[in-house]
Amino acid sequence: MFFIFFQQNTPALYILNQTSFKNNKGTVMDYQNQSPGQTPPPPPPPPNSNEAGLLPWEKEQGTVWDRLWQTWQLVMFKPALAFGPLSYFDWRLPLAFAAIVTLAQMVISLLFSGMGGGFSYSLTSIIFRSLFLLAVGLPILSGLLMFFLGLFGAKTTFSPIFRLVCYSNAASILTLIPVVGPFANLGWSIYILMNGTARLTGMPPGKTALPVIIAIFAPLLLLVVPIMLMFVG
């Protein structure tokens, strides 16, 4: 069997045997690449729309540590750009980010504390306590933040707020700074949450400051006030 190809503007007739077409693809492709009437190759596929708006940590590009570092930098220094409405995200990834950053901070703090033989026991205890506090505390803070934002007229849902709260844990590394570390962590966390909620709700960062501060200190007040009432009574 034969295939017959006519080249435009050229009187030449090319007759190619089917066997040679199969065995010598390079030859045929060379001819096709030189053909004046060749159709241009299709453009590359568009980027995955599901990754639009995702943080580096939530994408599948690069190593784990590169994605972790890039996300930490973006959340810490450009929170207004880091967070926006998303149609879908895997809630486990923000939670994993919060756990990794918190555990790293805890382990480094433990190493510098000069603990000796009890290090293994303390490390295990810290890991379990930290994971428990994250699993309980992050959803509670997210719910409180969504509630108080609603009182101030903002409209949002739980999922993006939970994602924001998880990534705001990036500031926990600042607790390693001597003396002022806890205050730096608190202040920077408020900064991240203010700008993140402003991006999610469309409110100015100045208007999101109060609901963010109330949501952060509300659990503390719920613990302190009953204790104070016990002593007063």
- For the stretch 84-134, pLDDT in tens is 877 677 889 999 999 999 999 888 888 877 655 556 667 788 788 888 889
Q: What is the pLDDT of residues 4-51, one digit of tens each?
A: 444 444 444 443 444 444 444 444 444 445 455 566 665 554 444 445
Q: Which amino acid is at 114?
A: G
How many percent of the chain have pLDDT more than 90?
Answer: 45
Q: What is the pLDDT of residue 90?
A: 85
pTM, entire model: 0.72
Amino acid letter for position 21: F
d(CA 81, CA 54): 11
pLDDT of residue 30: 45
E strands in the chain: 2-6, 13-17
Report DSSP state, residue 106. Answer: H
Contact 117, 157 (CB under 8 A): no
Q: Does residue 196 or residue 219 have the better pLDDT? A: 196
β-strand partners of 17: 2
Residues ≥6 apart with Cβ < 8 Å to 138? 95, 98, 162, 165, 166, 169
Q: What pLDDT, on a 0 to 100 scale, did the predictor assign at position 192? A: 97
Q: How far is 160 from 82, CA to CA, in rounded Å? A: 12
9 or 148, higher pLDDT: 148
* Pair of tokens at residue 43: 């453009």
Burial of 98 (0-12, 13-18, 19+ CB in 10 A): buried
User: What CA–CA distance (Å, rounded) separates 46 from 16?
Assistant: 37
- Give the pLDDT score at 162: 95
Distances (CA, A) of 109 to 14, 75, 165, 169, 187: 77, 22, 22, 16, 20
At residue 3, the 3 state secondary structure works out as strand
Mean pLDDT, all residues of the chain: 79
The two three-digit tokens of residue 11, written as one number: 């009187």
- Which two tokens mark 38? 């060749």
Cβ atoms of residues 160 and 167 within 8 Å: no
Predicted pLDDT of residue 172: 94
Residue that has been written with the tokens 């104070």 in this structure: 228
Please state the separation of Cα 172 from the chain's center in Å. Answer: 16
